[in-house]
């Protein structure tokens, strides 16, 4: 196989994996809006993490994967930054902030991650990647179509909580990338969720009397725990082990695209022209940041068939 064709195939696979992650995580903001007001942020976040931990434990058992106990300090730190803090902040923000706003603010993970990756010398901040970030922000703005809202203290605090959650994702991605050189993606995913569960269990027990366990809320948490947390985090770490931290975080730009799409399909939300133009910008942004060039890939594929 031609090396350029092989490289194009790898980039295509990573691109498709990032799109799958965006589809899964885009749906999670809708599920958070369903479950958090009913269960409460503490209980919802803990249940989500508990189900993710059980899912990953089952996969580890099937794969005969050992637990990385000797890396417990690193897993505790990563679990705090990438699971416990952002899950709890997004769950609280959902009480006051529309899902579209949360998904838009989630893209702030990319600039924080770009800066952290450059600072830790895991990646370089090029003009192309900077342009990709700008295209992504413009795209998500068109998709979500933010309108004027009353800047109440609770809404501003919820927005700030979402930004802090996104910053945790962005800053910790480079650290997570380095962890994949010492541990397998599966063991990291299981370890950070187990650590986060330990951290959030006391708060969940304290809030348990106020939680209302409705079928809809429990179903939403089940999907988030098993699919968008357990499976998706494992997939994300598998991709992260093979590409740069900045490339992995580019999926954040596509999350609002899928979040709005799921809202239209399942909740009947109206789609405007911003969805289509914004979607094109988001896909362009992902290509710029990841280095995926569909035209180059097609030319290599055509050359193989000639």
* Closest-CA residue to 140 (of 13, 301, 294, 282): 282
CA distances from 291 to 33, 113, 279, 306 (A): 34, 17, 18, 25
Q: Determine the Cα–Cα distance for residues 295 and 278; give it in Å rounded to an integer.
A: 20
Provide mean pLDDT across the span 135-152. 67
Rounded Cα gap, residues 31 and 23, in angstroms: 13
**What is the C-alpha R_g of the chain?**
19
The pLDDT, as a whole number, for residue 277 is 78
Q: How confident is the model at residue 237 (pLDDT cuts 50, 70, 90)?
A: confident
Distances (CA, A) of 174 to 32, 81, 85, 253, 303: 26, 12, 17, 18, 36
* Averaged pLDDT for residues 120-129: 77
Q: What is the pLDDT of residue 64?
A: 92
This prediction's pTM: 0.82
Q: What confidence score (pLDDT) does residue 149 get?
A: 56
pLDDT at 218 over 90: yes
Which position has the higher pLDDT, 1 or 15? 15
Convert the pLDDT of each residue in 4-60 to its tens digit: 444 555 566 767 777 778 888 888 988 998 999 999 999 999 999 999 999 999 999
Alpha helices in 63-214 (DSSP H): 72-79, 85-93, 99-105, 109-119, 127-144, 153-179, 185-207
The backbone torsions φ and ψ at residue 293, rounded to the nearest 5 degrees and listed phi first, read: -120, 100
Contact 208, 51 (CB under 8 A): no
Answer whether residue 1 shows pLDDT above 70: no
Confidence (pLDDT) at 301: 44
Assess whether pLDDT exceeds 90 at residue 263.
Answer: no
State pLDDT tens for residues 151-177: 678 878 888 898 899 889 988 988 988
Q: What is the 3-state secondary structure (H, E, C) of 211-244?
A: CCCCHHHHHHHHHHHHHHHHHHHHHHHHHHCCCC
pLDDT on residue 80 = 97
Average model confidence (pLDDT) across the chain? 82
Give residue 189's pLDDT: 94
Rounded mean pLDDT of 214-239? Answer: 91
Residues in the chain: 306
Q: Is the dihedral of CA 15, 171, 96, 31 positive or negative?
A: positive
Nearest to 174, CA basis, from 72, 231, 244: 244
The residue that leads in pLDDT, 303 or 14, is 14
> Region 71-87: what's the mean pLDDT?
96
- 3-state secondary structure at position 98: coil
Q: What is the pLDDT of residue 226?
A: 95
3-class SS of residue 306 = coil
- pLDDT computed for residue 290 by the predictor: 64
> What confidence score (pLDDT) does residue 20 get?
79
The pLDDT assigned to 284 comes to 77
Angle at 61 between CA 58 and CA 65, to 5 degrees: 125
Token pair, residue 243, equals: 């590409």
pLDDT on residue 5: 45
Task: Return the top range by mean pLDDT from 24-33, 133-142, 249-258, 264-273.
Answer: 24-33
Residues 24 and 230: their CA atoms lie apart, in Å, by 11
Alpha-carbon distances of 35 from 93, 113, 212, 221, rounded to whole Å: 12, 29, 10, 7
């Amino acid at each position: 196989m031609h090396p350029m064709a092989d490289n194009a195939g790898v980039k295509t696979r990573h691109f498709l994996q990032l799109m799958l992650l965006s589809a899964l995580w885009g749906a999670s903001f809708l599920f958070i809006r369903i479950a958090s007001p009913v269960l409460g942020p503490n209980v919802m976040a803990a249940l989500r993490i508990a189900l993710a931990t059980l899912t990953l434990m089952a996969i580890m058992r099937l794969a005969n994967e050992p637990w990385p106990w000797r890396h417990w300090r690193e897993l505790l730190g990563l679990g705090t930054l990438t699971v416990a803090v952002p899950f709890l902040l997004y769950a609280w923000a959902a009480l006051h902030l529309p899902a579209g706003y949360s998904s838009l603010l989630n893209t702030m993970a990319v600039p924080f991650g770009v800066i952290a990756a450059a600072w830790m010398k895991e990646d370089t901040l090029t003009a192309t990647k900077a342009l990709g970030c700008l295209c992504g922000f413009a795209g998500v703005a068109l998709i979500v179509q933010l309108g004027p809202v009353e800047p109440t203290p609770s809404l501003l605090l919820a927005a700030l909580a979402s930004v802090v959650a996104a910053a945790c994702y962005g800053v910790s991605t480079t650290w997570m990338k380095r962890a994949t050189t010492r541990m397998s993606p599966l063991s990291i995913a299981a370890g950070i969720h187990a650590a986060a569960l330990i951290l959030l269990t006391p708060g969940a027990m304290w809030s348990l009397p106020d939680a209302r366990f409705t079928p809809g809320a429990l179903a939403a948490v089940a999907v988030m725990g098993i699919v968008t947390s357990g499976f998706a985090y494992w997939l994300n770490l598998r991709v992260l082990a093979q590409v740069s931290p900045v490339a992995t975080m580019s999926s954040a730009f596509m999350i609002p695209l899928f979040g709005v799409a799921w809202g239209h399909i399942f909740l009947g939300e109206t789609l405007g022209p911003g969805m289509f133009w914004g979607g094109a910008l988001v896909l362009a942004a992902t290509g710029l940041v990841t280095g995926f060039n569909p035209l180059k890939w097609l030319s290599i594929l055509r050359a193989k068939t000639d």
